Amino acid sequence: MDRQVFQEKFGLTGESDAIRQVVDKVMQISSTDITVLLQGESGVGKDVTARAIHAVSKRSRNDIVIVNCGAIPEGIIESELFGHEKGAFTGAHEARKGYFEKADGGTIFLDEIGDTPKNVQVKLLRVLENGEFFRVGSSKMYTADVRIIAATNKDLWDLVKEGTFREDLYYRLDTVKIKLPPLRDRKEDIIPIFRKFVTEFSSKYDSVFQGFSDDAKELLVSYRWPGNVRELRNVAEQLVVLEKSKFIDVNRLQKYLKGRQFHGSTDNLPVLADRERNRKSNDEPPAGDMSVIYRALVEMSSDISDLKKMLAKFLYSTISDKGVKALPSAVSRDIDPNDISVHMRDQLNDSELGIRSVEKDIESDLDDNENEVEKFFTENDIPSIEDAERFLIMQALKRFEGNRRKASEALGVSERTLYRKLDQYELE
């Protein structure tokens, strides 16, 4: 079976070098019983790849059993994997086979293997070594002849260094590693995969897809696809069903893109354009990259300025197009009416001095912010997307003294998104 036929048969669509290398490696190891570790982000197609490996192996006549280790509660995962005897624990009214017994003679696919508890990892190692295991509540040894394919969206070696994953199990799983590339690293495959999904859903829902504009195609390719192929499939299905018989332009497509985009984003955090597509022959950073990030930083400064003006408006009394102006307070009753004009002039002078002080603080803070921005670019040249996001979040938290609600409002994101970003960048 040649590569093209293999890809069409098992849904590994794409002509990029990255996906070709994956397919070549899959075809090379499929006929063996060697343990395989699939590594890649969520939604890149690890389960599809595992099914393809099983389908062309000598075990294809038997079942492939798929287990999501991260979805099974820690208290029952051992029972789910290895089975249990009657009365082994409360609720065990009868003996039950585990996934390894069910996969005997076939393949077991252990997805999210990095989430497996350490007490279960040692038992997985024993199965990998000699196929032996014990059911929960039994002293009888069972054996299963299975091929193991594991998958993870984490770096297992990092988990080993953290002490949450056994080093001996890591070396046993890492016999053959296949890294599945995210969509953003194989942009030339996005349109073919999208067309494949559109064809499938058009047939399924008896719908007609009228195509999309050149700008929509550009957005489709430049979008980062944080959910990868799974997200692309979801968008294709929504367009076929909800935009039936409509020509898809940028505005219509943008409604279905949830994450960060090339032309802006739903959370107002910046992204760079495709560096390779825009990079000049002398390898200078593209001007478009700088402008996107700088514009976002300037907008952040503007937001902070607006916030301070709102505060000034609250503390004083009114705000005009020309700047903040304060009305004088009421005149004291014990003042001679003949001196009212003098008293009001003195109060106005004091108020204007106060406002000028506030405006000076605003200018000072904006200057500080510009200095931070200039320093950031001087030290980092053209930063990565993640560095730019991290910098913006740190600046917002610094500006609002750690108040996450105010920081999220200034950044234009929900508090939930901000908490996720703080966890992603390990910010306290």
pLDDT digits (tens, 9 = 90+) for 30-58: 889 999 999 999 999 999 999 999 999 99
Per-residue buried b or exposed e for 26-62, using 16+ beta carbons within 10 Å of the residue's own CB: bbebbeeeebbbbbbbebbbbbebbbbbbebbebeeb
pLDDT digits (tens, 9 = 90+) for 157-198: 999 999 999 999 999 999 999 999 999 999 999 999 999 999
What are the strands, taking DSSP E only, across 101-220? 107-111, 132-134, 141-143, 147-152, 176-179
- Residue 2: pLDDT over 90: no
- In one-letter notation, the amino acid at residue 28 is Q
CA dist list (Å): 298 to 4, 293, 327, 371, 372 = 49, 9, 31, 12, 12
Dump the DSSP string for 189-200. Answer: GHHHHHHHHHHH
Question: What is the rounded CA–CA span in Å between residue 411 and residue 421?
Answer: 12
pLDDT digits (tens, 9 = 90+) for 330-362: 444 444 545 544 544 555 455 455 555 545 555
Positive or negative torsion for Cα 24, 30, 36, 38: positive
Rounded to the nearest integer, the mean pLDDT of the chain is 78
Dump the DSSP string for 385-416. Answer: HHHHHHHHHHHHHHHTTT-HHHHHHHHT--HH
What domains are defined for the chain? Answer: 3-181 (3.40.50.300), 184-266 (1.10.8.60), 287-424 (no CATH)
Rg, the chain, Cα only: 30
The interaxial angle of helices 415-424 and 385-399, nearest 10 deg, is 120
Task: Please indicate whether residue 324 or residue 248 has the higher confidence score (pLDDT).
Answer: 248
Beta bridge pairs of residue 132: 143
pLDDT digits (tens, 9 = 90+) for 198-245: 999 999 998 888 888 999 999 999 999 999 999 999 999 999 999 887
- Residue 405: pLDDT over 50: yes
Supply the pTM of this predicted model.
0.61
Among 52, 59, 43, 57, which Cα is nearest to 12's? 52
What is the residue whose two structure tokens read 């053959």?
A: 176
Reduce the DSSP state of residue 277 to 3 states and report it: helix
Could you give the dihedral angle defined by the CA atoms of residues 370, 374, 376 and 379, in that order, rounded to the nearest 10 degrees? -160
